[in-house]
Amino acid sequence: MSLPALPPGVGMRLLAPTDAVALAQAYRDNREHLSPWEPLRDDAYFTEAGQADQIAGKLAGLASGTEVPWVLTSDHRIVGTITLSGIVRGPFLNAHVGYWVDARLQGRGVGSAALHRAAHRARGPLGLHRIQASVLPHNEPSKAVLLRAGFTLIGTAPAYLSIAGRWQDHLLYQRILH
């Protein structure tokens, strides 16, 4: 199966320890864009030191096999992230996927192409059976991205995550990989 192409000039690679400066800048550039969809973040999160701490945690998860963090890049800038987290082995073979794309690249197919790539790697090298995602019911763009990437709606989780400072219901989606 061929994967949908990322738009010209957009790449996807594993997160690196040297990404703290660029990732902090990407989060600062997209702070307002992301705030309705993410947990509350203190100011330290948007600094190089804050992102260095985040990167260290994600790379520890990569080393232990519980997480795979990627960055999306364009013109030597980070323009988004996509992460498989909470990887579970055994009979479940499951991971959660989370992602965001720079506001300037919305509507160009970046998110759905990146999700297809993450699913391909989850199935192949990671040997997972399923990935799941959660989305706020009013996040129409993200729901469309998930559907284009082959996810199906499986239910609603009341008060699932604390997003933008309050517990909010989420729609749950999955993609079966085998």
**CA distance linking residue 74 with residue 81, whole number of Å:** 12
Q: pTM of the full predicted structure?
A: 0.95
Q: Which domains does the chain possess?
A: 10-129 (3.40.630.30)
End-to-end CA distance of the chain: 13
Contact 134, 147 (CB under 8 A): no
Angle of helix 140-148 relative to helix 110-123, nearest 10 degrees, comes to: 50
H-type helices in the chain, by residue range? Answer: 20-29, 31-34, 48-64, 110-123, 140-148
**CA distance linking residue 174 with residue 130, whole number of Å:** 7
Q: How confident is the model at residue 2 (pLDDT cuts 50, 70, 90)?
A: confident
Q: What are the tens digits of pLDDT across the range 117-153?
A: 999 999 999 999 999 999 999 999 999 999 999 999 9
Q: What are the tens digits of pLDDT across the range 47-57?
A: 999 999 999 99
Here the tokens at position 123 are: 């199935």
Q: How confident is the model at residue 1 (pLDDT cuts 50, 70, 90)?
A: low
